[in-house]
Structure 1
Amino acid sequence: MQTTRLLISGRVQGVGYRDWAQSQALAFGLNGWVRNLRDGRVELVASGEDAPLARFVEALRQGPSLARVDAVAEQPGEALSVSGFEVRPTA
């Protein structure tokens, strides 16, 4: 299991990015959470097996059809104690 933390910037708020990310994460069998940040970025933490997690990160770089992803900053994350994938309130 691997955990990664991502900060996604671009036109990623108000375009369904969080709900789309949640559905993608569940399809890949990942655990974690996603939320908007007040500065316009989306923060996401995901945990799972290496191959599905890598495919998920690649999908996040594309985003849903209404989004425009300019950058994805990725760093190792701390192990999660959540099961499933949730959309959290804005931070």
Structure 2
Amino acid sequence: MESKQFMVTFSFETALSHKFITLVPKHREKVNELMMDGKILTYSLCIESGLLWAVFEVKNEFELKKIIKTLPLSSFMEFEINQLTFHNSGANFSMSYSLN
């Protein structure tokens, strides 16, 4: 089955609770794991406005929602999902060097 890309915009309260802050390391660990697995392609945060953006590559929206529920901070955030027509990233154009 072909994978699809989704942009997820997460929003959260800018007045961070102690519980939220204590879960940040576990959340980052899970995000890094999902990036290594190729499920999260990009991940960006603007703490001042309480917004976080992530591009996911998954089979379908059902799988995406399942993954979102595994994020330690998911219960503190609302999210909006948009399927992308395409997603370009500078990382796709990185140069490779030959040692010859």
Is residue 62 of structure 2 the alignment partner of residue 60 of structure 1?
Answer: no
Which position in structure 1 is the counterpart of 2:44? 35
Count residues with an aligned counterpart: 78
**What is the RMSD computed on CA atoms of the aligned residues?**
3.1
Aligned-pair CA distance for 1:9: 2.1
Which position in structure 2 is the counterpart of 1:46? 56
* Structure 1 unaligned blocks of 5 or more: 84-91
Structure in which a larger fraction of residues adopt strand? 1
Structure in which a larger fraction of residues adopt helix? 2
Give the direction of change, closer, same or farther, for the CA distance of 1:41–1:74 in structure 2 (3 Å limit). same
Name the aligned partner's letter for residue 8 of structure 2: L
Which position in structure 1 is the counterpart of 2:87? 79
Aligned-pair CA distance for 1:32: 0.7
TM-score, with structure 1 as normaliser: 0.58
Give the direction of change, closer, same or farther, for the CA distance of 1:60–1:5 in structure 2 (3 Å limit). same
Larger radius of gyration: 2
Give the direction of change, closer, same or farther, for the CA distance of 1:60–1:34 in structure 2 (3 Å limit). same
Aligned identity (percent) is 10
Aligned-pair CA distance for 1:63: 1.9
* Structure 2 unaligned blocks of 5 or more: 93-100
